[in-house]
Structure 1
Amino acid sequence: MYLKTWGLALTLLAVNNAAFADDIEKITVHGVQYQDDGTYQNVTLGSDVTIISSEMIQAAGAVDINKVLSQFVPGLFANGRAGRHTDTDYALQGSRPQDILWLLDGNRLNNRLYGSTYTDSINPMIIERIEVIKGAQSVIHGSEAIAGIINIITKSYQHDDRGEVSLVADTLPSYDLSAFVSSEINDLQISLAASSSQSEGYALWPDEEYSPTAALDKERGYRMNNLNAKIKWSISDAQQLTIFAQYNDGLLERPLAYNAILSENDRKQTLAYADWQLQVSDQLLLQTKLSYQHWDSHYSEITKEADGKVDVPYWDQYWGFKDYGALVSANYHTQAGSQWILGGQYEQFEGADEVMHFTTPTDRTYALFSQYQPKLSSLPDTQLSLGARVNKLVNDESIWVGSIALTHDITSQLQLKANLGNGYRQPTASELYQQLGTLGNPDLVAETSESINIGFNYQGDISLTVDSFWRNIDNLIEQRALSDTQFTYSNLNGRVESYGIDIHLVKAFSAKWLMELSAGYAHAERKDNGQQIERVPKYTGFAKLNYEMNDDVTLWVSGQYVGEFLDYGLTAGDYMLTNIGLQTWLSAKQNQQLQLTIDNLFDSEVPQSIFKHGHRAEYPIETMGAPRTLQLQYKYFF
């Protein structure tokens, strides 16, 4: 049963000769053909696309999105710096986290306060699929889409009433409870979900690394609750309105090795959007999207010095933002089969941080974009795409971006993909405005980039995807020291160049055995000093062997490699983790499922990042990854 669902992997052996030439968009994903009925058809033309299905997430036994991404996306490094529900380092094909745009159902998640994205509040049970699209995607999606986009698609009504409950416990110990239900009432399709997670966590550093006055409780814990709803209303045969809302409430410990006896974030987040679509005719689809994100965090910290003096530097200090967005677009298909996409986008942002002592003025940006996909009767095996976008940013800066892409069927089994484009990243509020210990620089200009992705996709007795890339970034924004205690931001006088290759192979040896191998190489060098940029490993790899014992029981073993990388000038990474798992159905109806996984099977001590607390850190410390962890998950489907 596992092979029939896990990633739909066996369908790679059934791809027929006409699949690539179908006029209806089909995204080729490591041998899987996924038909997308969204507004923008073929916008990912020429790009390597990985689709992680809900079945793949379920099979991975994952309650952590980062764990899922690390397994299934070649060339992506996803590393929680202190475990779950914490800051995460992301690198896609040699990029920094701020070079990746995150979307929820096509709506932006990246914030303009610090440029970070927290996906830990997304309940994996509500995910229908995750689309990872590599290469420059700024024409359609704007700022941050330099190395690619990661789009989390939430579940909608599944053609019948259904539900699911999940209970997860592990040996840290951690506990997760989540539920999902979907139903149809007249013209309304309703999906509801909720989750609650809590953990006592694990110690991030050895006892000897803590100062004598640090907290006695050295294990980092958390609590995160999530509630969301999605309603799709079929107003008429030609109109559809989708409304989504999510609320998160979490209390996240933030342990410090230096003197802190309490350090925590009390976080609340609201996400919402409305998506209205009007099918004017068989050729024209109009869409309007409104999105909203409200983030409220309150930070508290109590310290104790060596002389016994207790200080409260922060108590319930606010940091957060509000982000509004609006997008209007038209998708038009000509009688000849060509396609036009035209649209306009507006974003408004405001935020503040009482911890770092700065407030942002209201920030507004505007953009117009278009993409043309001609239907060439003289080149029936080739699909082309041309796009352009103009952006009006903060400080009245204007940025133009463009792209050209093609997909060409060399044979019925071999496909060429190529994507040439440029992108940009506008400065964050923290980089522009003055804050504690750091002088913002209002004269910063946006980072700009050019990139090329060229790859091949082979579908035969194996599924093989190869994607090579080259990218450079001009005007890189970096922090620069003015003194031992004061910093500022400036545009780097020089380029950062990245190049490399991702390889992914899937091979079914029989109806019972399936092997998956992937590897990534990313050379990301600063031209001013010749060094690899920090928190970007040169080498990553993943391997998995899956054995379906029968229709009820599946076993697997996997290994993940992360090469070394620099973090605060010290070396981290260079480790291998081995995981094993078992999944079994408990009933003949296959509505009860039990899954057992053991992560870090050999209890390896993994230096997954380097800890340094702001400007008060006496010295950096290696942060260790989670120890060997046994996880048990029970699911009930109804």
Structure 2
Amino acid sequence: MQSRYVSHTALVAALLLAPGVATADEDADSIIVTGTSVEETLPQELSRYGSDLYQVSEQDIDDRGAVDVAAALQTVPGLYVMPGSGPFSYVDVSLQGSRTQDVLWTVDGIRINNRLYGSTSPNDTLPASMVERIEVLKGGESLFYGTQAAAGVINVVTRSFSDEFGGQVNAQVDSRAGTNVDGYVRGSVGRHRFVAWGSHNRSEGYRPYSEMEPSATDRKRGYDLWSIGGKYQYDFNSDLLLNLQYQHTEAKLDNLSAIRVRESRNDRNEEIASIRLDYVGSDTVQLFLKGYYHDWNTAYVQIRNDLTTGEPVVIYPAGTYWGYKDFGGSAVVKLRPHRGLEYLVGYDFQNFKGRDDVLLIGKTKEKVQAGVLQVRTTDDLSDRARLSAGLRYNDGSGSKKTVWNVSGRFDVSEDLYLEANGGTSFLLPTASQLYQIDPCCEKGNPNLEPEESLGVNVSVGGRLASGAVTWKATAFARRIDNLIDIDYDDPAYPDGIYTNVDSKVNVRGAELQLGAKIGDGWELSASYTYTRSRNSGSGLQRDRTPEHFARGAIAWRPTDIPFGANVSVNWVGDTWRTVSGFGRRNYGQYLVVDAGLHIYPDGDARRHRFGLNVENIFDKDYASGLGSALRDNGSGRFLYFTRGVPRTLRMSYGLAF
């Protein structure tokens, strides 16, 4: 697993000269606004006022042959994404040096984060085939998005409406016995618009750990996932729209261990639904009213092998429950009563219920409500400088918090701009931190206060060579106060208790991006991120947060030839984790290369698409995590690493109609 040392300077130079495939939105003019609702266009509007927005396009996802959302996000500058053990598994993310729980995930604006634990992303139930684009907002965005947006927001946008009837069906197979079949259809009839999609993803998977004891007889982490969804829109008139959305997912996801596991699985059943009313036709008043419902149910099973007899030992019987319901509503009104300024006034209400019979979290209920006010300048005041300031008052989880945000963008010229975003954010305690009652582990503390953070992002960027080359340099800083951690010093709680500690998390860093379009269809990009993420008083980088990482790629997408290809490079520097019995260990320092090509056999019609992708083309044996466990013979603990995806060949076919 040990990687050869690669000079930071040489690597960055290579990536800046080497190609890349990422859709960078350094220039606000390059951002495509595909919606009309105040909610749908919120990330783009925040970008116009200085928030740092990056978008992953449908073309990027197709060219990568991405199976799940985590794979689709591998090109995002400043975002470290490491799936636990292949597609549809838990992921660690670090956005500009953040912890996983500091990033909010949403699907079409509906928050998806698991409030039981906070760190669970939606990656294990979201196939990439349903995605039209992914919007990544970097920096504190608690003003509109609330808790867990301390470092940013990842918004997955599903298939959009179209007035013309059409769709696509796709099929994919891979060298890990994986099969993926998906499709969508959309169109309109009079005032009615609709889009529907479905997918089935299945794989035997691969052995997830570098070392497994003989007692572990289930040795490949597989998955079997079904997902269907749809949207409906009705135009009452040109100004008033009704939108309905629904998605259902069922999944069987292996949840293995390096020892003793005969069977261990999460069987998921997830429902996401929303109803939204948009008034979009007036420059003076626009608004949306929205209700949403998110239901996540897991039936867990874990059966181990007895070390002496080999007979099955039921730890958690099939059907052991953990899950939650998250439902509520929101409203935002955009007002422009006079020249020079506009106002956004919003209200959020969230109602959460959950319980866990695996790690023993008792039944929990939580209600949170918030009011939002933001003031913005308009082009009437200045078409080169756009400024905004806002407040959010949050009442919930036993506490009241007010956060603020200011941002701005100044276009020095057509080829140079400055932007900045700063403010405070908050992170509510999770249900496990508040109410965990598992006898083996740390205890919950219902008296916890929310974590608070102060952050700022400052960027300068522009274009060169008549817009053919784009660049952006960003400095970021963030401080987290009132940190929630485990206290082992209280004799009443020998296994620890969650508490607000005096320690702080301090993050400092920088991010560089380059992109270029050369000739007919050549697209190049590269990025490098440096992060210093430390607890106060410590000289050590925080666990699971790389200090350096970089990526670069090249894509060839000619308009006059029915053929294309791409290559991407992902390098991760030192990344540490503290492991029981082995102390602090480094599992970083690796470089992974992916490649793909596609062809349209019907030429300019481009209805038929064949694709060939190779993930980890050089079969690099790299780690996405570390752990330790007891050996079967009782001789002590052994260290293992969670294996990143080995070399995998994927072949695909798509038919558009």
TM-score for the superposition, normalised by structure 2: 0.89
Tell me the distance in 2 between the aligned counterparts of 1:267 and 1:204.
20
Residue of structure 2 equivalent to 1:390: 393
Partner of 1:16: none
Instruction: Quote how far apart the aligned CAs of 1:485 are.
Output: 7.6
Higher mean C-alpha deviation, range 316-325 or range 475-484: 475-484
Larger CA deviation: 528-537 vs 374-383: 374-383
One-letter code aligned to 1:491: N
The answer to whether residue 107 in structure 2 is matched with residue 89 in structure 1 is no
Instruction: Describe the shift of the 1:584–1:279 C-alpha distance in structure 2 as closer, same or farther (beyond 3 A).
Output: closer
In 2: Cα distance, 1:86 partner to 1:601 partner: 21
Other-structure match for 1:574: 589
Q: Among all aligned residue pairs of Structure 1 and Structure 2, give the percentage whose two residues are the same amino acid.
A: 27
Structure-1 separation of matches of 2:203 and 2:299: 20
User: Equivalent of 2:418, from 416, 419, 424?
Assistant: 416
Aligned residues of 1:94 and 1:524 also touching (Cα < 8 A):
yes
Partner of 2:14: none
Quote how far apart the aligned CAs of 1:151 are: 1.1
Check if 1:491 corresponds to 2:495: no
Name 2:236's counterpart in structure 1: 235
* 2:359 counterpart of 1:359: no
| Aligned partners of 2:105 and 2:122 also within 8 Å | no
- Which has the higher mean CA deviation after the structures are superposed, 220-229 or 557-566? 557-566
CA contact (8 A) 2:343 2:373 kept: yes
1:435-469: per-residue Cα shift (whole Å, max 9, x none)?
A: 21221011211010001100012123211122210
Conserved 8 A contact 1:280-1:286: no
Provide closer, same or farther for how the CA distance between residues 618 and 375 of structure 1 changes in structure 2, counting only shifts above 3 A.
same
Checking the alignment, whether the CA contact within 8 Å between 1:156 and 1:189 is kept in structure 2 is no
Cα deviations by residue, 1:525-559 (Å, 9 ceiling, x for unpaired): 11143322211111111111223465211122221
Query: How many Å separate the matches in 1 of 2:411 and 2:224?
Result: 50
Matches within 5 A, 1:493-512: 493-512=502-521
Counterpart check, 1:181 vs 2:181: no
Match of 1:333 in 2: 336
**Which among 397, 419, 439 is matched to residue 443 of structure 2?**
439
Residue deviations 1:245-292 (CA, integer Å, cap 9, x gap): 101101111111121111111111111111111247431012111111
Match of 2:63 among 51, 59, 62: 59
Alignment partner of 1:591 out of 607, 611, 616: 607
Counterpart of 2:645 in structure 1 is 626
Partner of 1:406, secondary structure, is: strand
For 2:522 and 2:59, the matched residues in 1 are separated by 18
In structure 2, the residue matched to 1:375 is 378
CA separation of 1:75/1:455 partners in 2, compared to 1, >3 Å: closer, same or farther?
same
- Of the structure 1 ranges 181-190 and 90-99, higher mean CA displacement relative to structure 2 is found in 181-190
Unaligned runs of 5+ in 1: 1-5, 13-26
Are 1:30 and 1:465, in contact at CA under 8 Å, matched by a contact in 2?
Answer: no
Contact 1:111–1:323 (8 Å) recurs in 2: no
Paired position in structure 1 for 2:251: 250
User: Are 2:542 and 1:533 equivalent residues in the alignment?
Assistant: yes
Q: Show CA shifts across 1:290-342 (max 9, x none).
A: 11110110111111232125421101210000001210221112331421000
- Which letter maps to 1:564? D
Aligned to 1:400, the other structure's residue is in SS state strand
Q: Which moved more, 1:302-311 or 1:317-326?
A: 302-311
Aligned to 2:531, which of 514, 522, 531?
Answer: 522
Aligned partners of 1:539 and 1:635: how far apart in 2?
A: 37
Asked if the contact 1:30/1:464 (under 8 Å) is kept, the reply is: no
| SS of alignment partner, residue 122 of structure 2 | coil
Which of 132, 146, 149 is equivalent to 2:150?
146
Displacement of 1:53: 1.6
CA separation in 1, counterparts of 2:335 and 2:304? 61
- 5 Å-filtered alignment, 1:16-55, equals 28=26, 32-35=30-33, 37-39=36-38, 40=42, 42-44=45-47, 45-55=49-59
Q: Confirm or deny: 8 A CA contact 1:28 1:34 kept in the other structure.
A: no
Summarize the Cα distance change of 1:265–1:35 in structure 2 as closer, same or farther, 3 Å threshold: closer
Partners of 1:424 and 1:491 lie apart in 2 by 14
Q: What code does the residue aligned with 2:126 have?
A: I
* Superposed displacement of residue 198, structure 1: 0.6
User: Aligned partners of 2:418, 2:629: CA distance in 1, in Å?
Assistant: 47
Residue 380 of structure 1: how far off its partner (Å): 4.1
Cα offsets for 1:196-239 (capped at 9, x unmatched): 00101111124xx3222211x41111101001011111122321
Letter matched to residue 486 of structure 1:
D
Looking at structure 2, the residues matched to 373 and 89 of structure 1 have their Cα atoms a distance apart, in angstroms, of 35
User: How far has the Cα of 1:123 moved from its partner?
Assistant: 3.1
Cα gap change, 1:376 to 1:592, in 2 (>3 Å): closer
Retained in 2: the 8 A contact 1:556–1:582?
Answer: yes
Letter in 1 for 2:260: N
Q: For the residues of structure 2 that align with 1:562 and 1:281, how far apart are their CA atoms? A: 48
Alpha-carbon separation, structure 2, partners of 1:251 and 1:378 = 55
Amino acid at match of 2:565: L
**Structure 2 residue identity aligned to 1:471:** R
Residue identity opposite 1:38 in structure 2: S
What is the one-letter code of the residue matched to 2:290?
Answer: K
Which residue identity does 1:246 align to in structure 2?
A: Q
SS at structure 2 position matched to 1:441:
coil
Out of 616, 619, 643, the position equivalent to 1:603 is 619
**Residue 378 of structure 1, CA deviation:** 6.2
Deviates more, 1:509-518 or 1:492-501: 509-518
> What RMSD in Å do the two structures reach over aligned CA positions?
2.3
- The answer to whether the 8 Å contact 2:349/2:368 transfers is yes
Gaps of 5+ in 2: 1-19, 579-583
Confirm or deny: 8 A CA contact 2:470 2:515 kept in the other structure. yes
Q: How many residues align?
A: 611
Q: Distance in 2 between matches of 1:61 and 1:89?
A: 21
Aligned counterpart, 2:9: none
Aligned: 1:562 with 2:564: no
Aligned to 1:426: 428
Could you state the TM-score of these two structures normalised by the residue count of structure 1? Answer: 0.91
* Cα gap change, 1:613 to 1:253, in 2 (>3 Å): farther
Residue 637, structure 1, aligned to residue 646, structure 2: no
